[in-house]
């Protein structure tokens, strides 16, 4: 039949590319750390992710630059209200400053929970869009 004769010709023309997930998984498997990174943030084209140390440094700088914060009290374990003497309004301002520093938009429910540096570090370090 004509159809049977055409079949190989057609199949030769059609080339299926491997699915992106399979390709990414295979690429990740070839590099040991890439696999973990790929599993944590699949489909991300954003490879140069911030390191945790960088996040901590920049967060400490944001806090130290805040007019109401005593820079000597800033440490990676500090609580905004208990250790740095900020009130709830200051905390809102600090979280906004963190958003600006890392070009993020933190939803209100998340932003309400961030009341200390460990939580802020955790949030920013795990955020795929932090820059």
Determine if 62 is a binding residue for another protein (CB under 8 A).
Answer: no
Residues in 65-104 that interact with another protein by CB under 8 A: 87-89, 92-93, 96, 100
Cβ count near 65 (within 10 Å): 12
Active site residue 87: yes
Which neighbouring-strand residues pair with 116? 79
Which of 87, 90, 108, 112 is an active site residue? Answer: 87
Question: At its nearest, how many Å lie between another protein and the CB of residue 96?
Answer: 5
- Residues 7, 39, 112, 113: which binds another protein (CB under 8 A)? 112
Per-residue b/e over 87-100, b at no fewer than 16 CB within 10 Å? eeebbeebbeebee
Asked if 111 is part of the footprint of another protein (rule: CB under 8 A), the reply reads yes
Helices (H), 66-116: 88-102, 108-113
Other C-beta atoms lying within 10 Å of the C-beta of residue 121: 18
d(C-alpha 65, C-alpha 59), whole Å: 10
Output the smallest distance, CB 58 to another protein, in A: 16
Which residue number, 15 or 103, has a Cβ lying nearer to another protein?
A: 103
* Residues designated catalytic: 87
**List of residues contacting another protein (CB under 8 A):** 87-89, 92-93, 96, 100, 108, 111-112
């Amino acid at each position: 039949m004509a159809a049977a004769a055409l079949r190989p010709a057609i199949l030769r023309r059609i080339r299926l590319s491997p699915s992106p997930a399979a390709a990414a998984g295979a690429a990740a498997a070839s590099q040991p750390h890439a696999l973990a990174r790929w599993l944590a943030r699949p489909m991300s084209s954003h490879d140069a992710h911030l390191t945790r140390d960088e996040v901590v440094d920049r967060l400490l700088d944001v806090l130290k630059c805040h007019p109401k914060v005593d820079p000597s009290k800033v440490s990676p374990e500090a609580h905004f209200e208990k250790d740095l003497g900020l009130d709830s309004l200051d905390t809102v301002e600090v979280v906004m400053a963190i958003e600006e520093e890392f070009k993020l938009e933190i939803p209100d429910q998340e932003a309400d929970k961030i009341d200390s540096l460990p939580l802020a570090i955790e949030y920013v370090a795990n955020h795929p869009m932090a820059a």
